[in-house]
Chain A
Amino acid sequence: MAVSTACSPVPRELLEAFGLDAARLIPPGTVESESRGEARSGAGACSWCKSALGALQEGDVWIGGATCDQMRRTLELAGRTAGADSYVVGVPKTRTPEAEELFVREIGNLAAELARRTGRRLDPEALRRAIEARDRVRARMRTVRRGLSGSEFTALVHLAERLPAGEMEDVLDRLPPPAARPPGVPVLVSGSPTTPAELGWFRLLEKAGLDVVADATCTGDRAIDFTVGLSPGEDPLRALALAYFRRPPCLFVRPNDAFYEYAARLAAERGARAVVWRSVRGCDICGLEAPRAERLLGRPILALDMSYGDADSVRIRTRVEAFAESLR
């Protein structure tokens, strides 16, 4: 059984406490996977969901959040695929105390479901250890973050989302000191999460003279900018649920002011002069926000709507270069 967590509100630590090696589902982001996925989803799904479905294999189990409409429907499709299975965690869009308690209950339901599926009981100590290990990884990644380029940091996040915490700590132990980066116009990247195949897109930004100093996507700084921070005697499951609910939110939250507050603070702290807003094709949640992002982040913005075939296309390269030129 290959278990993956889909979408950032699902706490991987909980699965790890059950002894499951639960990498986060990050689709390949290749044209091939997108095309294969389209055969399972239909043409209207977003590129991220299509690519994920395209990579779905027999024996896969996806545990994901009902974050955006497309994600929860993709999870349903995965669960209907022969040999695969899925479980959907309800994720409230609002951020009220009541919604928070609903999410805590949902995480409790997930724990019960995992106990049922694995035949094991949740060991609070195992959960505590898993939380502490992930907190350590996130803290260490925050420490090295500023020395890394956008593409290096994204690669590191992708790695952290795949590896068990112990192995990721080994990677961080062996991480060479950051190399000097060529000067560039500091920018914030935001919008849809990025896939491994899009690391080239980050390099395209860097080559054009942009320095990605901040990344407000869930495969960027938002992936590590929170700590569970267990106190002695605290119920680890509740603390975990609360931490995930209170972490810097995704754009799907309504209203999404907290996302913009986070992104604006990140941009200000890192000195970002402009924003590159990239949304994958078919993603309303990110794509339709571009005009608001320009206004709320108060910086020049390049809004890109991309399928996975576009990552290194002439069209995108030309637009990135023109944007970089306009900032010099």
Chain B
Amino acid sequence: MRDGSRRPARIGYEAWNAAFRGLREEIGRDAVEAPPAYLDTPRCFVELEGDSRLRRLRFDNSPAALRLWSFLLSENDRLAAARREGKKIVGVLKDLGTAPVLAYAAPDVVAFYPDGAWWIPCVMEMSEGLLRIADAAGFGDEVCPVRATLAAFLNQAHFPRPDLLVAAVGACCDDMSCLMQRLADLDIPMVWWELPYRRDGAAPGLVPFAAGELDRVRRAVGDLAGRPITDDMLAAAIRKANAVRSRLARIRDLSYGTTPVPFPALETQICEMLTLHFCSDLDECLRVLDAVAREIEARVAAGEGVLPADSCRVVWVNPVADLRAMNVFEDLGGALAGTEYLFRHALDPIREDVAPLDALAEAALRDPMIGTAAYRARLVVEEARRYGAEGVIISGIPGASHSATEGLVIRQEVAATLGLPVLEIAVPPVSDASGSQLAARFEAFFDIIRSRR
């Protein structure tokens, strides 16, 4: 698929649309199967879906990246199609990476994260009014951007109403806990499960409890599907999820561990997000990540990258509400050398040598958000060591209960263990108004990193 005449680059919206007019055919020519129906240029998503933020982003110029973006942006169409086909739709809240594996074990069930709506205000540049609706419902800007999820449920304009909500509550953030409580009023069948507090590190003693909780979820999804989910079905779903995770591991190792960086930050972030619920199509998710992995491998083999070789290598903590912040970060000299986007446990392989529910429980209990901030800081330190990072950026999520205090702990641990500089920023859903301040802080941070070389 890779065209040797096209050197890897990050390109703007117009260049993208111009350069890739014939891309659909190119992908179809090289692919074993026909190009996927969802494949389209960013212009299509801007004009038909109102995803106007795409106009201001910079994209990787490969067909694999185009496919990745198209797969991501077309998810609501897939969910709508699933509904038309009579499939059952499960909305998964909070646990990030575990309950979807269980849901995909059932035939004709599609799982998605309504919480993903937190990016809608960014992608649609606030034109959709979700934050206004959330505000009117009592979820103002003291709540993290996940409040857009409440509004998306209320206005029903973005994703189909789920047939079942699976709500992981317990040691979760207050914002999500309050959001879930509010969604419980919407008369959608809901199964709550307890994601217990993990005092520190591994929590083998909690596995039987968490497995029991997941078993309740399994029964609820099985009831919805009209067929019980057996251990064999679950084991098969775990194998598939692991296939996705192993692709992602390859992508991360090559992207974060290679100089020059072969794949941009925005696209690697999307790859990581795909492992959470496979963007509503597990099989296609695998193919999308395969294409990305092949592209990156080819670039690494050719010694080609998308960023200067002297970019400042940074571990990034927390997803950004405004995708453009990742572009600005790279434009000014940054490069990802590791991440901790709140869901490290969803990237690790799920054990296949124990009972499937126990394996899922173990995976869920590795959630970095249900334990101490010090545990999460250790993940950041490990990531920095693994990929040779020169600094850490903690992208605080405005209004998020965990962001109120954990930055301090991560900063202390990183400084004490590695002596690396740490930058704390806060990125709102559309950061244009604070763009120059953000840029200045990135530049100053990169100056510090360069001065230490």
Q: Cα distance A76–B402 when bound, in Å?
A: 12
In whole angstroms, what is the CA distance A91 to B138 when docked?
A: 27
Contact A92 B196 (CB under 8 A): yes
Contact between chains at B408 and A42 (CB < 8 Å) = yes
Interface mask (B160-201 → A, CB under 8 Å = 1, otherwise 0): 000000010111111101101110110000001110110100
User: Are B193 and A94 closer than 8 Å at their CB atoms?
Assistant: yes
Judging by beta carbons under 8 Å apart, are A252 and B404 in contact?
Answer: no
B74 touches A (CB below 8 Å): no
A66, CB-defined interface residue at 8 Å: yes
Segment among A11-19, A124-132, A152-160, A282-290 that sits at the interface with chain B: A282-290
CB distance from B64 to the nearest CB of A (A): 38
Q: Are A284 and B194 also in contact (CB < 8 A) when A93-B169, A93-B170, A98-B209 are?
A: no
B402 close to A73 (CB less than 8 A): yes
A residues less than 8 Å from B137 (CB atoms): 291
- CB atoms of A254 and B409 under 8 A apart: no
A80–B412 alpha-carbon span in the complex (Å): 10
Q: In the complex, which residues of chain B have a beta carbon less than 8 angstroms from the beta carbon of A90?
A: 171, 196-197, 199
Contact of B197 among A80, A88, A291 (CB under 8 A): A88
With contact pairs A66-B171, A73-B404 given, residues A92 and B142 touching in the complex (Cβ less than 8 Å): no
Give every chain A residue within 8 A of B167 (Cβ-Cβ).
254
B246 contacts the other chain (CB 8 A): no
B184: nearest chain-A partner, CB-CB: A255
Shortest Cβ gap from B91 to chain A (Å): 16
Q: A70-B401, A288-B138 are in contact. Are A255 and B194 (CB under 8 A)?
A: no
Question: Any chain B CB within 8 A of the CB of A118?
Answer: no
Q: Which of A44-78 contact B (CB under 8 A)?
A: 44-46, 66, 68-70, 72-74, 76-77
Residues on B with beta carbons closer than 8 Å to the beta carbon of A290: 138
Are A76 and B404 touching (Cβ within 8 A)? no
B14: shortest Cβ distance to chain A, in Å? 39
Contacts of B193 in A (CB 8 A): 94
Question: Contacts of B173 on A, CB cut-off 8 Å?
Answer: 69
- Chain A: minimal CB distance from B199 (Å): 6
**Is B297 close to A, CB under 8 A?**
no
Does chain B have a CB within 8 A of A96? Answer: yes
Docked pose: A292 CA to B182 CA in angstroms: 8
Give complex CA distance A256, B403 in Å: 25
CB-CB under 8 A from A102, the residues of chain B are 194, 196, 209
Q: Which residue of A lies closest to B374 (CB)?
A: A76
A70-B174, A255-B181, A290-B138 given as contacts; is B405 within 8 A of A45 (CB)?
yes
Which B residues contact A (CB, under 8 angstroms)?
137-139, 142-143, 167, 169-175, 177-178, 180-182, 184-185, 192-194, 196-197, 199, 209, 212-213, 372-374, 396, 399, 401-409, 412
**6 shortest interchain CB distances as A-B pairs:** A44-B404, A66-B197, A90-B197, A284-B174, A69-B401, A288-B178
Could you name 26 residue pairs across A and B whose Cβ atoms are closer than 8 Å?
A41-B405, A42-B404, A46-B404, A66-B171, A69-B402, A70-B174, A72-B197, A73-B402, A73-B404, A73-B406, A76-B372, A77-B409, A88-B199, A90-B171, A94-B193, A94-B194, A98-B209, A102-B196, A252-B177, A254-B167, A256-B181, A282-B404, A284-B142, A284-B401, A288-B139, A289-B178
Inter-chain pairs besides A66-B197, A289-B178, 14 sampled, C-beta below 8 Å: A44-B401, A68-B401, A69-B402, A73-B373, A73-B405, A73-B406, A76-B373, A77-B408, A96-B194, A254-B167, A254-B180, A282-B404, A284-B142, A288-B138
